[in-house]
Amino acid sequence: MLSDTPGIHHVTSMVGDAQANLDFYVGTLGLRLVKRTVNHEDVLRYHLYYGNGAGDLGTVYTCFPYPNEPPGRRGRPQITAASFAVPEGSLDYWADRLGDHGVDTEQGSRFDESALRFEDPSGTRLELVAADQPVEPWTEGSVPERAAIRGIHGVTALPTNPFATASVLDTLGFDLVGEDGDRVRYRAGGDHSTVVDLLDREADFAREGSGSIHHVAVRVGDEEELHEWHDLFRERDIEVSRIRDRHYYKAIYVREPGGILIELSTEGPGFGIDEPQESFGESLVLPPWAEEDREMVEGQLPPLETPATASDGSGDGGATGGADGGADFEAGD
């Protein structure tokens, strides 16, 4: 029996330099490096997972570093932005912190939510949304707990056919909850990491590359249910992959008719399958089938140094107050 997804499992982007990526997501955004592993399709490339202390589903943002990949171009069909939830009243802190790290920001609002927009070192569009979520933050990172990220808030997608994309979201269990200009919001039934916004507008076609968000994954209970979803999409003539073993979860990939790549991922076995939680991210972990090639793989991957993670207290004065308001983002967002 198919169940509605409770929300987002993870979001994955393509980025440039691995060290710059690690410095930004751990050093600047204060996330934990949950997994230092490899791309299953190309074991000579890193796959870096970031999240909260436990790597809880809905907090996980992953990156494929491709240092020689040309920059991508935002457009359709593509996920154009990913957002993280931060506590109400913390956006002034974040504006100061990101500015201190040389990151330009833009503050605005939509659906009565205040947000701060910026880009990571590869040009990936990110947002911090003031939205309290019942998620435990990573408390040993570089950001004070009262301002720390509380998981993924959602993604913004720009499909070629928003009505077709909306139909697939409805099938997965997302409900239409509002419209704000040409932005239509769908929300899953869980208590965190539930938002998918669809943009209904004309735009140039996208080019995948460094700075592109590759896919959004939604949660599925187990492998048996994943098989049922696979069969359902095939029956509806929607492009779907075979079931892939990603070591920490099983997954299928759906290229829905609006052109957005959606992954369906099981909730287990989880990130504790190959190392204890207290040592997440400290060493390179490989899927079992790649272990015999560890020496070769390690010899080809560039070294990575995890940045200092002690809270630096920068901008603390804005972490508990501030107006958090701002003009609406422009129509091109």
For the stretch 87-121, pLDDT in tens is 999 999 999 999 999 999 999 999 999 999 999 99
- CA 216, 62, 287 angle in degrees (round to 5)? 110
Q: What is the mean pLDDT of the chain?
A: 93
Q: For residues 245 and 252, give the distance between their C-alpha atoms in angstroms, rounded to a whole number.
A: 9
Structure tokens that stand for 80 in this block: 């154009």
Predicted confidence at residue 308, as pLDDT, reads 73
Q: For residue 317, is pLDDT > 50? A: no
In this structure, is the dihedral angle defined by the CA atoms of residues 4, 247, 25 and 75, taken in order, positive or negative? negative
pLDDT digits (tens, 9 = 90+) for 261-292: 999 999 999 999 999 999 999 999 999 999 99
Report the relative pairing of strands 60-65 and 8-15 from DSSP bridges.
Answer: parallel
Predicted confidence at residue 320, as pLDDT, reads 39
Q: For residue 141, is pLDDT > 90? A: yes
Does the predicted TM-score (pTM) go above 0.85? Answer: yes
Q: For residue 315, is pLDDT > 60? A: no
Q: For residue 296, is pLDDT > 80? A: yes
Note whether 47 and 66 are within 8 A (CB).
Answer: no
Predicted confidence at residue 332, as pLDDT, reads 47
Q: For residues 230 and 331, give the distance between their C-alpha atoms in angstroms, rounded to a whole number.
A: 36
- Quote the percentage of the chain above a pLDDT of 70: 92
Residue 1: pLDDT band with limits 50, 70, 90: confident
pLDDT digits (tens, 9 = 90+) for 30-39: 999 999 999 9
Contacts of 94 (CB under 8 A, 6+ apart): 86, 105, 116, 128, 147, 315
Predicted confidence at residue 60, as pLDDT, reads 98
